[in-house]
Structure 1
Amino acid sequence: MTNQKKERVIKFPLSDWIAGINKFPDHLPTCAYCICYQCDWNEANYGPYGFTSASSKKLLNFLFHELHFYNQNSLSLQPVLTPGNSGLYFYGESVEAFNRRIVEYKKEKLKRKLQSGLPQLPGLSIEASEIINLYNNDKVSTALLTHLVKNNYSFFFSCFLTPMAGQTVILFENAIWEKAKSFCQQSGIQVFEADSVNELTSW
């Protein structure tokens, strides 16, 4: 299988600027990195960004099976074909694992509501609520992020950067990048590893 249009996937570090606009905590896992996608760039590396081509969507489908978006407002995991909204996504077996966390949290919340005004019963841990809540003090919860990385959840954050990179996927597992490179090699998609997002040309 060969790709007729000039396309490439780009990897670059998660900078303080990117972490800041996405409300990440100050101390992030060192494994964090970003990828974006670019098509039809010229000699000055000027060209549109985004996972909009057929090849880029095939890449996403190859990397992220059973993709779900985490909607914290409704406390639900919503199936999606490709990442659209900015926020947290789960895929693979981690969808079921995190959904169990949501169910535990809802059960605990109901118990607390039913026990309102009554003596507190033992065994109602606050752990579930700490892990369910995506934001804490207007920043991505350190407890949540640490839990997801430590317990090997398959997840990523999606965001939109401007004026360069466009839609960007923030990952915490290096094996995904290795899979992406393998797919690109077989599909005629170029691979570029930048030392900084500043190496990318504005669009």
Structure 2
Amino acid sequence: MGNIFGRKRRPTRVTEQDRAILQLKQQRDKLKQYQKKITLQLEKERLLAKQLLKDGKKEKALLLLKKKRYQDQLLDKTENQISNLERMVQDIEFAQIEMKVIEGLKVGNECLKKMHEVMSIEEVERIMDETQDAIEYQRQIDDMLAGSLTQEDEDAVLAELEAITQGEEVELPEVPTESLPEVPEEEPEPEPEPERERAKKQPEREMLAA
């Protein structure tokens, strides 16, 4: 908390143009106050001259109206001065805007110059040529693939694409299965034993019989 409230604010940069604008506005405000004061005073003098005429004091009323006429001329001059001050303020403010625009253009030009230094015209042409070569190479591959497929293959590819687009599974072709030999229902008869095996088992059988 202490760091937040104790942080120093950066001083604002006040230019000579800002000071000039401030002074002009102060002079304008003073003239407007003077203009308002004189206007109220002239209204009072006009009412006073009217009362003097009612009282038969024509000479005093005439003198007061002459004074009022002179102050009216001062008001006109004051109005012109106020208009001149406001015009000067507007001109200075517009000049400041123009300076900011020029500074922005200057920064933009410097950025463009640096970008042009990094990428020259030759570099752009080289990249464009490489891009064109890549496009031509891909076109050749497409032509080769297109020539190696038959009409039936083309139709199959289109059908698969349509199925994928519609979210359906592509039906795979049936794999032919070879017919297996049938299993015999009756148990096969045992094959006859060879003579040597029968001669070997004959003594064993006689011994068992004894």
Answer 1 or 2: which has greater helix percent.
Answer: 2
Compute the TM-score of the two structures, normalised by the length of structure 2. Answer: 0.25
Answer 1 or 2: which has greater strand percent.
Answer: 1
Compute the TM-score of the two structures, normalised by the length of structure 1. Answer: 0.26
